[in-house]
Structure 1
Amino acid sequence: MKQAFTKQEKIKQFLIILVPILITQLGMFSMNFFDTMMSSRVSANDLAGVAIGSSLWMPVFTGLSGILMGITPIVAQLIGANKKKDVPFSVVQGLYVAIFMSLIILVIGSFVLQPILNNMSLDDEVARIAKDYLIALSMGIIPLFIYTVLRNFIDALGQTRTTMFITLLSLPINVSFNYLFIFGKLGVPEFGGVGAGYATAITYWCLMLITLGIVVRREPFQSYRIFKKLYAFSFTAWKEILIIGVPIGLAIFFETSIFAAVTLLMSAYNTVTIAAHQVAINFASFLYMIPLSISIALTIVVGFEAGAKRFKDAREYSYIGITMAIGVSFLCAAWLYFFRTEVAMMYTNDEKVLRLTTQFLLYAIFFQLSDALQAPIQGALRGYKDVNTTFIMALVSYWVIGLPLGYMLANFTSLAAFGYWIGLIVGLALGAIGLSYRLILVQKRNVTSFSEIE
């Protein structure tokens, strides 16, 4: 990554970084997409079981991955400040944090998974599939988080095409193992939806091994010699990572866990409603990969410019990313409105599920419009290492406003299950407004402070 001087150069560099991130995010999400879609071809129980399992796993995965995202602005600012020699130490400490967190989640999961499922009003078969799916997937947690740290290091260098290449390699691996383990091919037992968990775990191991090989053998990563020295544990470095990463992780956790909470509340409805809701959430999450990718790209470019004290350039990048996200979101909204039936048919042939899914997808349109504003703003703020506000706004907008409002609408009006979606849309929109105000304040403060120093 290099300094860009004109707006056209900034747009070009931003797109060079963004497009591979988008392909990578779509690829990573496609694993969950194929898990859900291929499981639905077995039975409604398999679809619901994998949906419940995914809803429980995704908040944990994204929250912990968010903590590890603290590596990105740290490395980006080190490079922007021309402190390349400090990068290996920070990355290795990030790997230590990743392994430690993985072990903790495995231990906690062994105690809390069954009680959580017991408290849900699920059919016995659906609960069994959800549990076995998560147990199978847990075999890949450690390599997944090691890969996440290495990916954040690669992205912080602006080498986002490398992570795109890795992800594209992993997709056929995931789909192939899904086919083998879900449907029982080539002598492999037929596991149904549970097989998607085994396939995903194997894919996570492949991701880690491929990424390790590239970091060790390929330039420009090889020149950093990440594994040349075995660094001792540094709790000071852990503290820096966690001070930045924990608010990021909590913000993402509050955002993604709200969907798990809604899915748990949806368990009061029938299996058709659960399945239709999950399909709509799954596709809305798929569309979210666009503003999320812009958010990640903004963290990289804003962090790079902020590390070099070029705050006016950082601000210009912020506006480029936000404008781009909003424009693309309106195009996606129009497309989803006209093709929502075709979208639903990608997931299921069940007429009842299909009909209800098309109704949920109407609400998904407004949901992704709000996402298009708040996600890139979060990314820009993280580039400035301003992470506490995003955490607070996520807590307030989802858990203080969105969920209570959704619960009231779902249980005390005729909206029923749709009430939860309206609550989330309102909470997300209010959060976007609050984050916009915070970004303006941070940018003014940085430009003013730097001008005073000069």
Structure 2
Amino acid sequence: MFPTDTLQDKGKLFLQILIPILITQLGMYAMNFFDTVMSGKAGANDLAGVAIGSSLWVPIFTGVNGVLLALSPIVAQLVGGDKKENIPSAVRQGIYLSIVLAIIVCIIGYFLLDPILMTMSLESEVRYIAKHYLVALSTGIVPLFMYNAIRCFFDALGQTRITMFITLISLPVNILFNYVLIFGKWGLPALGGVGAGLASSLTYWVSLFISLLILSRVRPFSQYEIHKHFEPPSLHAWWVQLKIGIPIGFAIFFEVSIFAAVTLFMSTYSTYTIAAHQAAINFASFLYMIPLSISMALTIAVGFEVGARRMEDAKQYSYLGISIAVIMSIICGAAIYIFDDPVANLYSSNSEVIDMTKHFLFYAIFFQLSDAFGAPIQGALRGYKDVNITLLMAFISYWVIGLPSGYIFATFTFLGPAGYWVGLITGLAVGAIALLTRLVSLQRKSHQHLRLKNEATD
């Protein structure tokens, strides 16, 4: 990151940060996609087991990873405030915290995994695959969380191409490990869906190894000498990160877990309806990578400018990011409307499922439009380290407004299962409006505070 004078320069720099983040997110999404598809080729039970395992793991991973994301605004503000001498300690403590969080997740999983799976009405083989998929994957949780902490450091310096580079290497490695372990190549036993979990774990180790090499040998990261000095863990430093990270993590958890809740409510409908809903949600999740990436880029850009006390520049980045997200959302919405049939055919060959998927995709247009407003605003607020409001609005948007209103629309109106989509869209829209109000208020207060501070200095 570096200071810019004109809106055009800001646009160029923002895109330089954004595009690698977007490619990275799409690459990570593709890993989960290939895990599911390749497991399906091994058998229906393997597909079901991996799907169950993923549905349990993804909300936990995204929620805990949200805690680690706090390192990005912390480092970005230190860079912007020209306090680079404090960065090595912040990163080391972030890595320590990532290891502790990984160990806690493994311990909780050890005691709760079997009871959770036993509450589900699963065939014994599916339950076995789901359990051992997660057990195999758990051997890579420590390197995964460590890598994500290091990634936050890379990204906060504006070097988002590095994480893109690591992801583009890791994706084919993951596919190769899947091929070898799921289907039993090179003399190894065919592990089926369990092999997908082990492949993911090995990929996490590879990603960590590459990131450590870059951290220690590639400039500008090696200049911080994070790898050369040991310092004891600091509970105070952890608390500083947790105060920012816990609200981020819970906000993301509320957002991710709501889809599992909606799927549970929709289980009262036909299998075709559930399949069509899952297909539309899957495609909407794919499109969500765009506003999510813009949100992450905004956290870096806004955090950098706030750290330097350039509040007007931070404001310009905020609305630049929101504008890009809305424009991209309109383009994506038009593409969904025009190409709904080819998209639906990607997920099924059943005519009834295709028709219902196209019906749900129409609502996905408005769903991703609401996301285009809400996600970037959250990213901008995180750049200001204002995270508690995003936690509150995530809970209210999805669980207080979205799910209850969706149930009412689905049960008591002509909308039927599509009512859940209308409920989520309503919740997202209300949340986006509230967050925008918060952002405007925060920016106004920041300008007033800076002006008073300058007047006092003069």
Question: Which TM-score tier does this pair reach, normalised by the shorter chain?
Answer: over 0.9
Could you say which residue in structure 1 is the equivalent of 2:427?
Answer: 427
What is the root-mean-square deviation in Å for CA atoms of aligned residues? 2.0
- 1:58-94: CA deviation from partner (whole Å, max 9, x where unpaired): 1111111110011001101111111111101001111
Could you say which residue in structure 1 is the equivalent of 2:393?
Answer: 393
Could you say which residue in structure 2 is the equivalent of 1:370?
Answer: 370
Could you say which residue in structure 1 is the equivalent of 2:109?
Answer: 109
CA distance in 2, matches of 1:120, 1:404: 24
1:154-173 to 2 correspondences below 5 Å = 154-173=154-173
Q: Does 1:288 align with 2:288?
A: yes
CA 1:284–1:129: 2 relative to 1, 3 Å = farther
CA distance in 2, matches of 1:286, 1:189: 33
- 1:342-367: CA deviation from partner (whole Å, max 9, x where unpaired): 23443444555545433333332221
1:102-181 to 2 correspondences below 5 Å = 102-181=102-181
Could you say which residue in structure 2 is the equivalent of 1:450?
Answer: 450
CA 1:139–1:348: 2 relative to 1, 3 Å = farther
CA 1:366–1:329: 2 relative to 1, 3 Å = same
CA 1:414–1:183: 2 relative to 1, 3 Å = farther
Q: TM-score, normalised to structure 2's length?
A: 0.93
CA distance in 2, matches of 1:95, 1:294: 25
- 1:205-241: CA deviation from partner (whole Å, max 9, x where unpaired): 1111111111111000000001211111111111110
Q: Does 1:277 align with 2:296?
A: no
CA 1:184–1:279: 2 relative to 1, 3 Å = farther
Cα offset, 1:278, TM superposition:
2.9
Could you say which residue in structure 2 is the equivalent of 1:197?
Answer: 197
Q: Which stretch of structure 1 is more off in the superposition, 3-12 or 196-205?
A: 196-205
Could you say which residue in structure 1 is the equivalent of 2:57?
Answer: 57
CA distance in 2, matches of 1:411, 1:135: 39
1:300-449 to 2 correspondences below 5 Å = 300-349=300-349, 353-413=353-413, 415-449=415-449
CA distance in 2, matches of 1:355, 1:189: 41
- 1:153-181: CA deviation from partner (whole Å, max 9, x where unpaired): 00000001111111100110111222223
CA 1:134–1:207: 2 relative to 1, 3 Å = same
Could you say which residue in structure 2 is the equivalent of 1:214?
Answer: 214
Cα offset, 1:436, TM superposition:
0.7
CA distance in 2, matches of 1:59, 1:136: 18
Mapped contact 2:215–2:227 kept (Cα < 8 A): no
Mapped contact 1:55–1:259 kept (Cα < 8 A): no
CA distance in 2, matches of 1:413, 1:289: 32
CA 1:267–1:190: 2 relative to 1, 3 Å = farther
Could you say which residue in structure 1 is the equivalent of 2:262?
Answer: 262
CA distance in 1, matches of 2:179, 2:236: 46
CA 1:111–1:419: 2 relative to 1, 3 Å = farther
- 1:259-284: CA deviation from partner (whole Å, max 9, x where unpaired): 22223344455655444433322221
CA distance in 1, matches of 2:360, 2:438: 32
CA 1:94–1:30: 2 relative to 1, 3 Å = same
Letter in 2 for 1:17: I
CA distance in 2, matches of 1:52, 1:268: 18
CA distance in 1, matches of 2:379, 2:372: 12
Task: Determine what percentage of the aligned residue pairs are the same residue.
Answer: 60
Please state whether the residue corresponding to 1:4 is helix, strand or coil.
Answer: coil
Letter in 1 for 2:239: K
CA 1:299–1:370: 2 relative to 1, 3 Å = same
CA 1:203–1:216: 2 relative to 1, 3 Å = same
CA distance in 2, matches of 1:344, 1:199: 29
Structure 1: tracts of 5 or more residues without a match: none
Q: TM-score, normalised to structure 1's length?
A: 0.94
Q: How many residues are paired up?
A: 454
